[in-house]
Amino acid sequence: MSHTPQPGVLRPSKMRPMHKLTPLQWSLLVLLTLVWGLNWPVMKMGVTGFPPLTFRAICLWLGTPILGLALVAMKVPFRVERRHWPEVLLLAVFNMFIWQALIIMAVAILSSGRAAILGYTMPIFSAVLGGLFFGNQLAKRAWGGVAAASLGVILLLWHELSNLSGRPAGVLLALGAASAWALGTQLLRRTQLPVSTLTISFWMTFLTTGVMSLLALVFEADRWVTPSVNNGLAIAFNAVLVFGFAHAAWFYLARSLPPVASTLSVMLIPVLGVFSGALWLGEVLHWQDWAAVGLMMLSIACVLWPQKSPTS
């Protein structure tokens, strides 16, 4: 008995290690890179003088309705059958709950650029998890991309290593966030939920709003203050562009591309985060930052450059 797939629902299929992006995927990837890359210094501005969990909760309260309106405009159904809610919750835990809580606290401790770099060790964690637990068979060229990305992260962390004794909490928070996101990406790629990716994105964001609000109430209620103008601008940026657009775009890419392609394809984001942080916040750049740009470009090319189709 055959079933007609619903819009946005993927059929399980065997996919080649390398993947040629469609025009839609390229467009989303470029916009996602710009929004998430620029958001690192924006987040740093948002948590300067303002409690980080509260900042994230307010962004979610404003951003979730925007995402909901997008579903209404696109006539995407909100309904998820009761039997699928445990899997939606599991996806939310690793893709949203842990990542959102830990990374925003890391941003409050570290420079925006270094937080971005540590957060984007995610592709390395994802490749390791995929190989160890999910049976991923990666081409040599894909492993070359992982190696290039890894070396780029090491170079970017060069000057941070000597400061770990002074900021171990921030580093551990960011690495914990990255590893949780990596597992979440692997789980999202393999989900067989018969609902649109936008629907999954909305409910994960909705659930995260509640979780972050509770964390902010428990841990930061005594620190609540009126947001400054800069805090307010950062909140607006995150509400509209990050939670209203970028997360849904990422979940679509993560679900429609092979894991290594979806993860390494966004490796320009920390590079943009580093240089935008230097421009806006005066964070100092070193030769390692420049060398890492080339390595990140090589990493992306290793994964996304089209392969010649085998002749029949």
DSSP state of 137: -
pLDDT of residue 10: 41
pLDDT of residue 287: 80
Question: In angstroms, what CA-CA distances link 13 with 5, 10, 120, 260?
Answer: 13, 9, 28, 16
Task: Report the distance separating Cα 283 and Cα 129, nearest Å.
Answer: 33
Q: Which of 2, 4, 8 is closest to 195 using CA atoms?
A: 8
What is the residue-averaged pLDDT of the chain? 84
User: What is the distance, to the nearest Å, from the Cα of residue 70 to the centroid of all Cα atoms in its chain?
Assistant: 20
Dihedral through CA 214, CA 59, CA 174, CA 283, nearest 10?
Answer: -140
Q: What are 158-204's pLDDT values in tens digits?
A: 766 655 555 678 888 999 999 999 999 889 988 899 999 999 999 99
Q: Which carries the bigger pLDDT value, residue 44 or residue 137?
A: 44
Q: Which of 113-127, 237-251, 269-283 has the lowest mean pLDDT?
A: 113-127
Which of the given ranges, 101-105, 256-260, 293-297, has the highest pLDDT on average? 101-105
Q: What are 201-232's pLDDT values in tens digits?
A: 999 999 999 999 999 999 999 999 999 999 99
pLDDT of residue 26: 86
